[in-house]
Structure 1
Amino acid sequence: MMNKIDSRNKVDDLYQLFNEGLSLNIIENLIEAGVRYHEVPELLVSGSVHSKISLRQTTINKIIEAFNAVENNKGSVSYYQLFNFANNYISTLSYNQSITIVQLRDILSRKFLVPIGDNLNRIIADLQKARKIKFTSIGIKKYVFSLMEYLKEDFDNKELILERLQGKNFQQLADHFGYSRQGAFNVVKRVMAKMPVFEEEYRFSKLFDEYDVEETLFCKLFDEAPIVYHFMINKFNRQSKSILEGFYHLNFNEKQKEYLLQHFNCFISSSGDILEYSRINVFNEVLKKCHYEKMRNEDMLESYNDFLVKNNFPESLKADINSIRGIAERSNIVIRCRRNYFRYYDFQVVDRHMLTRLHDLLMLERGVYSTKKLFNENPDLMAELDIRTEYELHNLLKRYIHPPQVRYTRMPEFIMGKITKKEFILEIFNELAPIEFSEFLEYAEENFGLRKDSLASYITSEFSKYIHNDYIKIDYQLLSKDKLQELKTNLSEPIYTVEQFKSIGLKVDKHFNMYVNNMNLTHLGYTLRSNYVLSNEYSSVEEYFRANILSQDYFVYEDLPIYKNQSYTSAISKLEKSFDIIKVEKDMYITSKKLGEAGISQGNIMEFREKLIELVQHNEFFTLKRVRDLGFEHFIEDFGFDNIFYERMIARFEGISTIRLGAGYVFKLTEEQISLSDFLYNRVAAHGKLNLYDLLDELKNKYGLNIETHKIISSIQQVEVFYSEELQRFYLDADDYYEEVFS
């Protein structure tokens, strides 16, 4: 037999396959069917021969193996090998992945190290004929059956499946087809498990695997038949998460997004949040856009209704002055100002640490106060909180801080302890009288923050009998000469708080509080000044503080009662502004006396300012680190003070505005007020779009600032910047976000 075959072993002869193990029986069946050697690749590609012969897959596999071996022995690559590799490669592509014809040619060439030539067109044609590929705008992708294509073909239990996909429940199927309910369920489950993965599954699996979607909405959004919807809900368990939560996660086009918002009666806020149409949501959106402005109800009404028209919002949301007034009362981002003004406020900045600091502000003696006192005495805290007036502070305290001893009355006043305003004023009369009416008003404003004009009206109305020729006069008690002398021997300091003074006096007379008045103090060489008892050596409390501070090389603030007053705060502020003192540590100041001894004069400080201004461009934000990196040098820097020294000095320069942060100071060469929001907006605007962590790196590496993430996000959302939580990226224009996500 071998001799017989060898004699026929010619090029393109089927008997060549015998030498590679294919049986003569198969070879002769092929010959009898009219198959020639060069036709074998077509046989292998199609998986069958013309009507004269039918082969099992095991036989086809044997022919494939023998044919490839013969071609390899000849040093050539069979068409089938090329086709099979191309088919397998394309099957590994993802559903949406396409490749060009040229890319496929190059892949085959690199794999087999032979020129592909005309085989490429034939491979493409055979793959298309076998429904392995489909053409796209850029090339080819793997062919995936659609559900609708599949349903046109025959398969087991087709009628039952079709009725299930038309919305029939299992009991209806059971009744119709003669199954139990469980039996109908099992049939559907078994048949669907055998189905291939359809194009619709690739497209909608994420939607149905994560979100709940109604039939009508699905069909409208994707222009699909209800049968596709029912197929998907049979494949996936029903979810509870609204499809609206997938607004930014699913690849909706603009038309779909518009329909979704309309369907759920929602709109997108400037910060990217999806909000339900309601008056309060529109109110808050308008308020955020006007966050720098304080507004009245009338201003908001105009801006509110203009916003509705501009954005084509439903007419039903239109408001009148009464509804605006009510919404403003309910809004959780409104902070109240004076005379019915209000503005946007981000209450998220008031964290636990800030609440503790606010609570500490109310550690006060019994009395009637205005938040003006707290506002003026704590400028750094007010700047950190972005609280701009005593009225806003009153509003903030009333919202968060409620110690039992505090009663909030008409803005900006509040009462400490069990006392009425009338009782309090009479107590102060007893301490200060006789005193000029104007001087009393100064005292009340200095110590309790009470506004002079409103207090004058109140006293004139309620206590007119005590006012004589612009003096407040009252019957007072005098100490005996012996007790005055005894008290005088116990007074050794030039200044005391009233409470300290009373404590000393109670050792002399157990009823001493009734003797605390200026008539007795005059005999002691002291005067009541603000909340202090001050030696007559000084004309004012501020003069005392100034003299005391400047007499030292370094002044260290201590947590003592005498420093807890606006007079101290005012003295420190004025001394810093004139560069008579500069802060070197948290509670320590170096005085001009010591600076002068070290060789640093006021003139040198002004030179520092001029050199700094020469380096920094107008309207550019900068920090101490930033200017040093830009090459700033001055001999004052050679003294090696901590950064706070140089930052506090720069903060006091005229023409430079400051943002005080826990992380450090940010400056800008401008007369305008600036905020952290302005600074962060500037950094995003410089890039157009900026990743959160890139921004954090820039703040640290370029400006030397470590700002908490939540504070950055909260502050930057107060301006026209869009933030994507999913991408953790800021966009100057929200359209850039949509283009990036959906391109």
Structure 2
Amino acid sequence: IQGYTVSDGLIIKTASQTHIKDSTIEALNMSGRAFNAVMRMFFSMDKSRENVMVSELLLTPEEDFRHFKGIGQTGFQEIIDKVKIYLDDENNIEMRKTTAKSDAAESPDFSGPEARGTIATKEDIADVFKNREFAILSFNEIRESLPVSISEIDLIQLLEELITKEILKSKGNGYSLQYPSFFDFSEYLGTEKNIDEHERGMRVLKARAEGKTLADIGAELGVTRERVRQLEIKAFKGFSNNGDRVFDEDKYRYLYANYDFSNDFYLNYLKMSDQTLYYLRYRYTKGSAEAICAIEDNKIAADIRQIIYQYVHKDSIFIDGVHIPLNRASIENAVIRKYCREEVSAEEFFDIYANFVNGNGLSKDQFGIDDSNKRTRLNRIAGSMHALWKQNQRLRYYDIPANDYTELLETLNLGQYNNIELSTRKFFLEYTKLMQTYDIHDEYELHNLLKKINAGAENPTLQFKRMPTLQFGKFKRDEEVKKILFSMAPVSIDDLAEVISETYGARVDTIKANWLSGIGDYYHQGVYSVDYEDMPDFHMELLKDALTEDFYYVSEVQEIYSQRIPNADRSLVSPYNLKKMGFLVGLSYAIQNHSSADAYFMSILTDQDVFDISPMQKRYSSLQSYTGVLYQLKKERSIIEYEPYKYVSIRRLEQLGVSLTQMQEYVEQLREFLPDDSFFTIKSVKNSGFKADLDSLSFPDYFYSSLIKEDEKFTSRTFGGVTIFNPKNERFNIKDFLLAKIKELGAVRVEDLRKILEEKYGISTDRFNIVQRVEDSDAFYDPNVDKIYVDFTTFLESD
């Protein structure tokens, strides 16, 4: 509807300067179908709005209505008719103006032009747009950019005159310069040039724009292919004024010259004409930047960026805030993430997957799983970094890239093992709290996780055998079982199998079925027994004099025996003979001067006030008794880790005036200080103002973290060498922590987030580590500006 403009909440009829009050579209009394279509159209562009105004209908380009599905020609015509009725209704008129002069008299909206004796002109308005090609300026932006002040009505009149003269055009809520189309301008030049030459040039350009070859055009004109090329160059240069003139097609210049979009995008998404695309190809060199980078480029109009987004993600589906590429692997990962949080069988997964494909209208031929490809898909799922695969073809969603596995690998210390076969069940049972921290449900999940995080790098001899077996180097099973038998005989099959199970982790029934065949000769009437050979007394005395330490591995005793008694039979260093020498004998070690292995390890872990545990870890960490005592002392806070592998005893702390009660009070004070749902590190709570009496110790933050880690009311994870805590005592991973920070910020550049982690939390990490951990989540990462948004909607709504 021409002849109207909008300003300051009023609809103004340009010719008569009549002011018409604005209103919501309910006042138009449209049919339910038209009304609902309009509401859907505007709400699709801005979900936060509460209503739609009549003025907005006037300012919306016709093509927007026609392109919106659901309005149609009939609906569009009804909108026009109802708006016209509203504008002509006398009841909606607030004020009539008859002349610009009276308007000037009644509107004291001047800030000095009458004092200077100047008024704004059409030329002043045109100057506002200089060097701002294709910029859309609002009414107020134009008014504020003028060199002199002007009344609202005067400016409206000038703008209308410029629109009438096709110097400006109204676009949405603003105005922009109007440029001629290249082809229209070329036709116009025909009135000033040689008609024959002009018509031939236009004929060539139009034919080329339609996709015709030089040879085809030459045949039509009766000239050679080379002559057509010459005509094309001459015509194009002549019509474009040596490349300096600006045409309407140049509004796409920045997009075309900077980004690498296909013809499909320009023709089918931007709805560009063949002629416009031809013009761009001929006049500009196509850009090389990836299309996805244009989504966040603010030099490109927002409506075009929306179209670009649709184009970039045309081969994906949008599920739960995440774009899923349309390929089987990505869809499988999405189904696992959404529907397999609890353990399911492979067949159950395939049923869930099939329902997902059907429910989202995906092609069964392209994405379905059947007998022809099921084995291939099973192998891919078993290797997925978003699932833990386990015995009997069962799986569970597990976001492997989201975690930091430093603590897990350091604790398991796989590098220490050599020539041994272990079940991951051994680790699962020995490190129950660690398994809870990493949300590992059984030995099969641990086996699969270690394989997928490349734990083999910790020990080049490690081989991942059939679940849940790990083999380090060459394992001589029968010999090792015989050693255990010799250390225990006489012994029942049940007791022997139980000890072997504790040593290597395999289940007792597995031991009985597969491990005992090599010692059948020692089995008689339900008991395994051994006829030991006595070590000569002289040998025993020499060996005992040489064994001055409290702890030895049996292999070490054998080596000492060989050194003291050359050519001696090392097999005489048996549990039987070691016991005769007064040693307490374990499966692989011998201890003297202590009542038990636990007593020995308790002694070495508590006899110093300040000590480095690293040598002990290297020597004893494979022994269950050692790890059990260490965990007990830490839990009781008899020893506290103040730096990695460095401990201080409670005895020394008490000498400094610090008691167990004070340490527990520190934890309770911290709990009272914290919000219930706030992740924290020791550095972050200090930055937030938390203070306690224990701070006077000036111990490293690691010390205070150790106090909290032993409190069962907190859960924790290690990231970048720093312990992160969750006061809600809920399992979490590093991704959960990062997403909580991004949610708090709404959107954040990756480098800024890295600095926040370092400055507020004390966590040192790199940008790649951050981006990798938030992948496959509701967060949206824009690589163009290296920025993470809390979700896709926030990204779309960003400036």
The equivalent of 1:413 in structure 2 is: 469
Equivalent-residue separation in structure 1 for 2:494 and 2:782 (angstroms)? 58
Q: TM-score, normalised by structure 1?
A: 0.77
Matched AA of 1:164: R
The equivalent of 2:423 in structure 1 is: 370
Deviations 1:56-104 (A, max 9, x none): xxxxxxxxxxxxxxxxxxx98788x93433323324323132231x554
- 1:127 equivalent in alignment to 2:162: yes
- 1:711 equivalent in alignment to 2:769: yes
Matched AA of 1:685: K
Matched AA of 2:604: N
Equivalent-residue separation in structure 1 for 2:416 and 2:384 (angstroms)? 30
Deviations 1:267-324 (A, max 9, x none): 357675562x222220022234468544431342243234334433334323358355
Q: Once structures 1 and 2 are overlaid, which stretch shifts more, 117-126 or 688-697?
A: 117-126
Matched AA of 1:555: F
Preserved contact between residue 688 and residue 731 of structure 1 (Cα < 8 Å): yes
- Secondary structure (helix, strand or coil) at the match of 2:176 reads strand
- 1:220 equivalent in alignment to 2:268: yes
Q: TM-score, normalised by structure 2?
A: 0.72
Aligned match for 2:137, one of 84, 98, 101: 98
Equivalent-residue separation in structure 2 for 1:78 and 1:179 (angstroms)? 61
Q: CA deviation at 1:205?
A: 4.7
The equivalent of 1:673 in structure 2 is: 731
- Secondary structure (helix, strand or coil) at the match of 2:712 reads coil
- Secondary structure (helix, strand or coil) at the match of 2:134 reads coil
Preserved contact between residue 677 and residue 718 of structure 1 (Cα < 8 Å): no
Aligned match for 2:317, one of 257, 267, 278: 267
Matched AA of 1:168: K
Equivalent-residue separation in structure 1 for 2:476 and 2:236 (angstroms)? 81
Matched AA of 1:96: A
Structure 1's 407 and 129: CA in aligned 2 closer, same or farther, altered over 3 A? closer
The equivalent of 1:653 in structure 2 is: 711
Q: How does 1:556-595 map to 2 (within 5 A)?
A: 556-559=612-615, 562-565=619-622, 566-595=624-653
- 1:336 equivalent in alignment to 2:375: no
Equivalent-residue separation in structure 1 for 2:165 and 2:441 (angstroms)? 75
Deviations 1:33-58 (A, max 9, x none): xxxxxxxxxxxxxxxxxxxxxxxxxx
Structure 1's 712 and 603: CA in aligned 2 closer, same or farther, altered over 3 A? same
Matched AA of 2:178: Y
User: Structure 2: 5+ residue runs without aligned partners?
Assistant: 1-114, 191-197
The equivalent of 1:394 in structure 2 is: 447
Structure 1's 567 and 465: CA in aligned 2 closer, same or farther, altered over 3 A? same
Structure 1's 245 and 320: CA in aligned 2 closer, same or farther, altered over 3 A? farther
Matched AA of 1:82: T
Aligned match for 1:198, one of 229, 247, 255: 247
Structure 1's 116 and 382: CA in aligned 2 closer, same or farther, altered over 3 A? same
The equivalent of 1:66 in structure 2 is: none
Equivalent-residue separation in structure 2 for 1:631 and 1:78 (angstroms)? 61
The equivalent of 2:124 in structure 1 is: 85
Q: How does 1:301-340 map to 2 (within 5 A)?
A: 301-316=350-365, 317-320=367-370, 322=374, 324-329=377-382, 331-340=384-393
Deviations 1:153-181 (A, max 9, x none): 34431111111111112233334335443
- Secondary structure (helix, strand or coil) at the match of 1:135 reads strand
Q: CA deviation at 1:198?
A: 2.5
Preserved contact between residue 349 and residue 385 of structure 1 (Cα < 8 Å): no
Aligned match for 1:169, one of 198, 213, 228: 213
Q: CA deviation at 1:247?
A: 6.3
Equivalent-residue separation in structure 2 for 1:296 and 1:618 (angstroms)? 37
Deviations 1:689-720 (A, max 9, x none): 34434433433344333333222222233543
- Secondary structure (helix, strand or coil) at the match of 1:362 reads helix
Matched AA of 2:607: S
The equivalent of 2:786 in structure 1 is: 728
Preserved contact between residue 204 and residue 217 of structure 2 (Cα < 8 Å): yes
Count residues with an aligned counterpart: 659
- 1:185 equivalent in alignment to 2:229: yes
Q: CA deviation at 1:413?
A: 1.5
Q: CA deviation at 1:659?
A: 1.5
The equivalent of 2:109 in structure 1 is: none
Preserved contact between residue 443 and residue 529 of structure 1 (Cα < 8 Å): no
Matched AA of 1:231: Y
Q: How does 1:379-528 map to 2 (within 5 A)?
A: 390-398=443-451, 400=454, 401=456, 405-430=461-486, 432-435=488-491, 437=493, 439-459=495-515, 463-468=519-524, 471-509=527-565, 510-528=567-585
Structure 1's 123 and 605: CA in aligned 2 closer, same or farther, altered over 3 A? closer
- Secondary structure (helix, strand or coil) at the match of 1:507 reads helix
- 1:235 equivalent in alignment to 2:283: yes
Deviations 1:653-705 (A, max 9, x none): 12111112234111122333222222222223334434434433433344333
Q: Once structures 1 and 2 are overlaid, which stretch shifts more, 294-303 or 117-126?
A: 117-126
Q: CA deviation at 1:475?
A: 4.1
Equivalent-residue separation in structure 1 for 2:152 and 2:672 (angstroms)? 70
Q: CA deviation at 1:631?
A: 4.1
- Secondary structure (helix, strand or coil) at the match of 1:153 reads helix
User: Structure 1: 5+ residue runs without aligned partners?
Assistant: 1-74
- Secondary structure (helix, strand or coil) at the match of 2:180 reads coil
Structure 1's 564 and 714: CA in aligned 2 closer, same or farther, altered over 3 A? same
- Secondary structure (helix, strand or coil) at the match of 1:582 reads strand
Preserved contact between residue 256 and residue 286 of structure 2 (Cα < 8 Å): no
Structure 1's 254 and 98: CA in aligned 2 closer, same or farther, altered over 3 A? closer
The equivalent of 1:136 in structure 2 is: 171
Deviations 1:594-626 (A, max 9, x none): 223333222222222322222223343222123
Structure 1's 258 and 585: CA in aligned 2 closer, same or farther, altered over 3 A? closer
- Secondary structure (helix, strand or coil) at the match of 2:422 reads strand
The equivalent of 1:34 in structure 2 is: none
Matched AA of 2:216: Q
The equivalent of 1:21 in structure 2 is: none
Structure 1's 252 and 482: CA in aligned 2 closer, same or farther, altered over 3 A? farther
Matched AA of 2:394: Y
Equivalent-residue separation in structure 2 for 1:358 and 1:398 (angstroms)? 16
Structure 1's 180 and 146: CA in aligned 2 closer, same or farther, altered over 3 A? same
Matched AA of 2:263: E
The equivalent of 2:9 in structure 1 is: none
Task: Select the structure of larger CA radius of gyration.
Answer: 1
Q: CA deviation at 1:120?
A: 4.9
Structure 1's 134 and 245: CA in aligned 2 closer, same or farther, altered over 3 A? closer
Q: Percent identity?
A: 21
Structure 1's 715 and 377: CA in aligned 2 closer, same or farther, altered over 3 A? farther
Q: CA deviation at 1:479?
A: 1.2
Preserved contact between residue 579 and residue 585 of structure 2 (Cα < 8 Å): no
Matched AA of 2:368: K
Q: CA deviation at 1:574?
A: 1.1
Equivalent-residue separation in structure 1 for 2:497 and 2:598 (angstroms)? 17
The equivalent of 2:110 in structure 1 is: none
Structure 1's 707 and 380: CA in aligned 2 closer, same or farther, altered over 3 A? farther
Equivalent-residue separation in structure 2 for 1:673 and 1:383 (angstroms)? 8
Q: CA deviation at 1:378?
A: 7.9
